[in-house]
Amino acid sequence: MRKNEPFILSLKEYKNLFEKLYSSLCLFANKYLDNLELSRDIVQDVFIKIWEDKIEFNDENTIKSYLYTSVKNRCLDYLKSKHHKSLEYYSINEIERLETEHFFLREIVVAEASSLIENAINTLPNRCAQIIRLSIKDFTNAQIAEELNISINTVKAQKKIAYKKLKPLLRDYFILIAFIFDTPS
């Protein structure tokens, strides 16, 4: 990405940005909406707006900030809409909590960290990746073994391999990841 002077994304930059941030933005939107399909629609709408309106940016951080803020605002607009209110009720307190800067910033960090972790897991051999994903979902070693039809010792050995490979990939992000798992929502 370019820096210092305002620019409009080229098609290649736009595609790279979409591939890089789409999943994280969908997870982020889903924290507001608790509806993955709707979250995807909103994120796609934001990307379409950038392209159609040829919005200018100063650098990559400006783009990320714009995307997260736009997705948040679209989610809040939807939650406040008559259509949504007729389908589901959110209390005023719940909407106010979703509008706070604390919630917004925490969910950005969660979405970015989730993306980092998923990218690291994708570098693992298939079986290791399956085991780690189940482990993240709080499956016990016995449950993982049963789910994948393998022995508990195989689960333990594959986890050991996975941790050994993930540790150097995620070492620089340890504090960020610890913050996420240690901070109440």
Q: How far is CA 81 from the centre of its chain?
A: 24
Question: pLDDT tens-digit profile of 43-78?
Answer: 999 999 988 888 888 877 788 889 999 999 999 888
Whose CA is closest to 13, among 65, 56, 69? 56
E strand residue ranges, the chain: 7-8, 56-57
User: Is-contact 13 75, C-beta < 8 A?
Assistant: no
Q: Is 88 exposed, middle or buried (0-12, 13-18, 19+ CB in 10 A)?
A: exposed
**Which CATH number goes with the domain that contains 158?**
1.10.10
CA distance 133 to 131: 6
Domain extent at residue 152: 123-185
Number of independent structural domains in the chain: 2
Task: Based on the fold, state whether residues 97 and 131 are members of the same structural domain.
Answer: no
Angle at 138 between CA 98 and CA 107, to 5 degrees: 20
Element (H, E) at 158: helix 152-170
Kindly state whether residue 62 falls inside one of the protein's structural domains: yes
Convert the pLDDT of each residue in 131-182 to its tens digit: 988 887 888 999 999 999 999 999 999 989 888 888 888 777 666 666 555 5
Lowest mean per-residue pLDDT among 14-23, 33-42, 96-105, 135-144 = 96-105
Cα angle 39-19-24, degrees, rounded to a multiple of 5: 40
- The answer on 86 and 2 residing in a single domain is yes
Q: Which residue has the tokens 């508990």?
A: 152
